[in-house]
Amino acid sequence: MSRLGDLLHLERTRRKLSVKEVAKMAGVSAKYLEDVEKGTRIIQDDEARRILGKMGMEQQTDAMFTLEDIAVTVDLHTAVSPERIQRVKEQQKDREGKADGSIWLDALKGVLQHVPIYNAVMKETGSRLLPVTKGKIEGAPAEKVFYFQAPDNRMRGFRVQKGDLVLVVPSQTAEDGAMMLLDTDLGKQLFVLKILPRYQLLLQTFDQQNASEVVAMADVRIIGKCVRLEAEL
């Protein structure tokens, strides 16, 4: 099965509906739905949401998980154990027909975290779902990690352009060659750091050309290290 096919199949079987019943509700053929559940036919996330809605499933749970978030973030079979699925099934038996979402959506609450997106003035503008491993994302406490949205093109020579998202993990220690988020008099800004002798740092940017300045390490306020880039194509 595909991951969206998994969601459709599990929600359909949880509600004790046949393929033909769901196909009639959604206005698609039974063969189409069977192929989607088997993973032999590609389905867009909007269409999957529509079919799930026809079955009575709300588009969001209390945890605000969406199909798109889940499909691009985790492999359902590896993220959730059969034992965990069975426990969720048993918990939902007493509230059949009143569930907020599917078995997968309920079971995934412990392995996904909404990571906030901040702009240059650290105002939250959205969030992304990321997998959590033992309470951590990229080795840092999950609740401390955030995305910073590049406000301009001053770092495009380092492959970060305006609007791109960089994942930041907390750190107050300068790392040679690392891209880091600094708190400056002009706001939060990205720099690539180079450690120099005599407790100095070279702060590098690269828009049309490379630019740099030397500062005392003691004068630099480091917020975190950039560990991942998400760019629009």
Going along the chain from its start, the domains and CATH numbers come out as 3-110 (1.10.260.40), 113-230 (2.10.109.10)
Which amino acid is located at 87 in the chain?
R
- Measured CA to CA in angstroms, residue 39 lies from 11, 44, 45 at distances of 16, 12, 14
Q: Can you give the pLDDT at residue 144?
A: 94
pLDDT digits (tens, 9 = 90+) for 174-224: 999 999 999 998 889 999 999 999 999 999 999 989 999 999 999 999 999
- For the ranges 55-64, 132-141, 175-184, the lowest mean pLDDT is seen at 55-64
pLDDT of residue 222: 97
| pLDDT digit string, tens, across residues 72-128 | 555 555 565 666 666 656 665 555 544 444 555 555 656 777 899 999 999 999 888
Whether residue 44 is predicted with pLDDT greater than 80 in this model: the reply is no
The answer to whether residue 51 scores a pLDDT higher than 70 is yes
pLDDT for 167 equals 96
In which band, very low, low, confident or very high, does the pLDDT at 13 lie, cut at 50, 70 and 90?
confident
Greater confidence, 150 or 42?
150
